[in-house]
Amino acid sequence: MFSPAEIEVVSQAVEIAEDVTANHFKISTARWKHVRYDIRTLAELSPHEITDYAFAQITRYSGKTELSGQRHYDYFKICLQDQNIKAAVERDERVRLLPLGIYVVTHELVHIVRFCKFLQRFDAEPLERQREEMRVHEITQRVLGSLKLPHLGYVLEVYGDYQFMEKLKDHSLAAST
């Protein structure tokens, strides 16, 4: 798990990632609040939200709510995998936590925005999913391209087309909840 000091770095990374992503897609602060997602670290994950094979897992919770008159809703939880992110930092001393955190969170937010804008289906077929992954890598490079931050260039270079950024997992909620 991330230490308290690392959590602070990750929170900073989340703030920067949200900022640059909202800017890139020209989403105002007011509208950004309607993007239904949460970002959590290992300490706040359930067993089904943990994976050994990626930096993150996006769990989509969908269901029907009685309050909204049986309207279907989706909510995305970006589950950061502390253990895998830490391992990457420990493996290569040129990979620092802040730039890696910014990179991972921005990549995941690009996915979320595209799901919310219906530019991509969450349950796409494997081939389409692979194409989407390449697109998201490209967009993420553009989003972060102008960000002047030490050591970010190295992360972009090393993880530019990394295939284990995230796992997607659906978790349907019962109609009554």
Residues that bind Zn ion (CB under 5 A): 133, 136, 165-166
The nearer residue to Zn ion, 96 or 107, going by C-beta atoms, is 107
The residue at minimum Cβ distance from Zn ion is 165
Q: Which is nearer to Zn ion, 19 or 133 (CB)?
A: 133
Q: How far, CA to CA in Å, does 172 sit from each of 131, 158, 175, 176?
A: 25, 35, 9, 12
Based on CB atoms, which residue is closest to Zn ion, 40 or 135?
Answer: 135
Q: Smallest distance, Å, CB 115 to Zn ion?
A: 11
Instruction: Tell me how far, at minimum, the Cβ of 82 lies from Zn ion, in Å.
Output: 18
CB 159 to Zn ion: min, Å: 11
CA nearest to 124, candidates 176, 74, 175, 170: 170
- Could you give the residue ranges of the DSSP H alpha helices within the chain? 4-24, 29-32, 82-91, 97-116, 126-145, 152-158
